[in-house]
Amino acid sequence: MPNQIFSSRSVPAVRFFIHLALLLLLCGSTIGQQYFPEGVFDDEKQANDSIVDQYSRYLKALQEPSLWETSKRTKGPVYRFLWLRSFDHPIVVRLNVNGDGTGTLSDENHGVEQAATSRGS
C-alpha cells in the first residue's frame, strides 16, 4: 500500500489552503482600482487600511468593479452583498437600479477557485 501524504479527511482543508494561497498570490495588490474612500472603516489609518486591503482583495479576485469609483461616473443606486463564508467560496450579488425603477441583478459567484483559474489562462 503506497504511503499517503494526506488522508481523505484532510483533502478539503488542503484545497482551502491552496485556494487561499492562490488568492494571495494573484491578488496581492489592488493598485489601479480603489474600492473604498479614506477612513470609511476606521479613523485610525493603519486599522482602516487593513480592513480596506482585506475586502479589496476579495472584490478584486471576484472581478467586481469599485462601486465608489463607479458612483463618480454614473447615477443611480447600486447595492452589493459580499458574503465571505468561512468554509466555502465567497459569494457576491450586485443590484444595479436604473432610472425607470428597473434593475439588473448580477450574481458572479465564481469564487476564489474560478477567479484564480481565469487569471491563469
Residue 4, in any domain of the structure? no
| CA 31 – CA 53 distance, rounded (Å) | 10
- How many other C-beta atoms are found inside a 10 Å radius of the C-beta of residue 59? 22
Please list the ranges in the chain whose pLDDT falls under 50: 1, 27-30, 111-121
- The answer to the question of residue 2 being in a domain is no
Q: Is residue 93 part of a domain?
A: yes
Strands across the sheet with 78-83, in order? 78-83, 91-97, 103-106
If one counts the domains in the chain, the total is 1
Enclosing domain of residue 70: 11-120
Determine, yes or no, domain membership for 5: no
pLDDT tens for 75-87 read 889 999 999 888 8
Residue 113 lies in a domain: yes
Q: What is the pLDDT of residue 81?
A: 92
> Domain for residue 1, yes or no?
no
Buried residues in 82-91 as b, exposed as e (16+ CB within 10 A): eeeeeeebbb
In a domain, 89, yes or no: yes
Full-model pTM: 0.58
pLDDT, tens digit, 9 for 90 and up, residues 48-59: 999 999 999 989
